[in-house]
Amino acid sequence: MTEIQKEEKSIQKEEIGSTYLEERQTFIFDTIKKAISIAEKGIEYDNEQDYRLSLEEYKKVEEALKSIQDELTGNSRVRVTELLTLYGNRIKEILPVVTTNTGGNIKANSLKQVISKQDFKYTFKPVTERILQEEQSQITEKPKQNIHRPFHIMRILLKSIYDGTMLTVSVRIPNEIFFQSETSLLAINDKLDTCNILIENFMRIKNNRDISETSDCLKDLVSLTQQLNVIQNSLARILPFIPEVMGKEKKKSTRFKSFRNKKRGKIPTTVEYIEAITHVIQNSQFLDTWISYYESKEVIHKENLLKELTKVSSFLDQVFLNFVLRDLATLLETHLVKTQLNFFKL
């Protein structure tokens, strides 16, 4: 393969990564705009007391917002979560009326209005329009408590991957650094395997547990932290900068062992690795919500829940972000070298 062909191939791979992010960002904004349109129809039906139709529209809004919730950051994520609560409550109010009446359009005059129609009319559209602006320009405030720190850093990292991030007034991380095809990253197979295990575990808990089911949530978190300890010790043998967990979990988990022992095919591309990182970040953010919830509420097992969540936060900080940010430094260094070489060609 000639040098020109290699360069063309490298450019193609980087374009694939950039295209993926552009399409994803477009999808997020289009989804929010679609939700605005659907919500307006729902509000009209609601005002006319056509509750069967308004229920259908509100469910569409809820589905649309849930599909992008984990990809939003900072204040935008908080506002979408608030809107999901708002529309979720409205659905719960309307549902009994729809299910206990028959006929075409439900026109119930005695529905108890916990949330006023005015709230719906004047809250949804301005808030979602601000989301479109804030997602392009703002980063969340630095959290005061260390337990929230890894989630804050991951949100910044995700924003950087999507469209670049201003870390400070003068320092910007461009998103193109994440999609350099000719960069060699240490133990990328093992890191990708770790990401896949995290995604699987986070999705399982997120999709099957309600935050109020404290006993079941605690069982899931205990199981998760045990798994994370095993993964951390396995990675500590490969990556010297990962601290080993002192304790019982010395034996490799079956899941991680099967990854390590399977026949390796081709080395994963940077694009595949970065895509896995984005999925870890997206699917882990519900844990930050859990932490805030349990910190602010008096619930059964509160102390133990926060203890296990602290362990998860520590793993994300000392293990996941440890190797991800080191790889970011490698990618940034490679990008600077390429930029310098291209500059001297001018």
Q: Which residues is 112 bridged to in the sheet?
A: none
Write out the two tokens for 262: 């399977």
pLDDT band at 321 (very low <50, low <70, confident <90, very high): very high
Of 17 and 208, the one with more pLDDT: 208
Range of 67-71, 92-96, 117-121, 287-291 with top mean pLDDT: 287-291
Lowest mean pLDDT among 58-72, 180-194, 247-261, 263-277: 247-261
pLDDT at residue 195, as a whole number: 96
pLDDT tens digit sequence for 15-52: 444 555 556 666 777 777 777 777 777 777 777 777 78
Specify the pLDDT at position 100: 66
pLDDT at 116 over 50: no
Lowest mean pLDDT among 159-173, 203-217, 309-323: 159-173
Highest-scoring range by mean pLDDT, 163-172, 259-268, 325-334:
325-334
Reply yes or no on whether the pLDDT at 329 is more than 60.
Answer: yes
Q: What pLDDT sits at residue 194?
A: 96
Listed range (49-58, 85-94, 99-108, 170-179) with the worst mean pLDDT: 99-108
pLDDT mean over 74-80: 66
Stretch 223-241: mean pLDDT: 95
More confident residue, 78 or 286: 286
> What pLDDT is stored for residue 14 in this prediction?
46
Determine if the pTM surpasses 0.95. no
Enumerate domains of the chain plus CATH numbers: 3-137 (1.20.120), 180-344 (no CATH)
